[in-house]
Amino acid sequence: MAVIVMHKMMGLVMSGHGMGVGYTWEHQLEVSRKILDVVERLWADGGNIAGLVNREDVSSHTSFLCLRIQKRSNYGNGVLERRKKINRERHSLRCDVELKLSMARKMKDEEGFYYPDNLDFKDIP
């Protein structure tokens, strides 16, 4: 299977029959059940394939040796902070994937739906 980045996969899940400026506002979209099943299976298997984020956090536990090094220098603090940053980023990406999958699950039984590219709030007080 070719590696496809996540936003392209979700674009395939919710796809119309063509693309263009303002296309999604004018034409109805539908959820591709086959692709949704594949994405859900990959996500259930832990992600980390085809552009999906890994569902597991990076271990923040450090070894005894690393703790001794940490006392003597700032190296250990840097390692721990990088791991925490990676975990925060993964959490954000996992929430994004879950949100997109929940929307696709809700809309898969619909014949079609309209999803605007952008919204104009200029005339709303």
Tell me if 4 sits within 8 A of 21, measured CB to CB. no
Half-sphere exposure of 45 (CA within 13 A, CB side): 10
Range of the domain at 19: 6-107
pTM of the model: 0.61
Return the residue matching tokens 């539908």: 30
Tell me if 61 sits within 8 A of 100, measured CB to CB. no
Number of domain units in the chain? 1
Query: Is residue 119 assigned to a domain?
Result: no
pLDDT digits (tens, 9 = 90+) for 17-74: 455 444 445 667 788 888 888 888 988 888 877 778 888 887 766 555 566 666 666 6
Query: Is residue 121 assigned to a domain?
Result: no
Query: Is residue 22 assigned to a domain?
Result: yes
Query: Is residue 113 assigned to a domain?
Result: no
Query: Is residue 86 assigned to a domain?
Result: yes
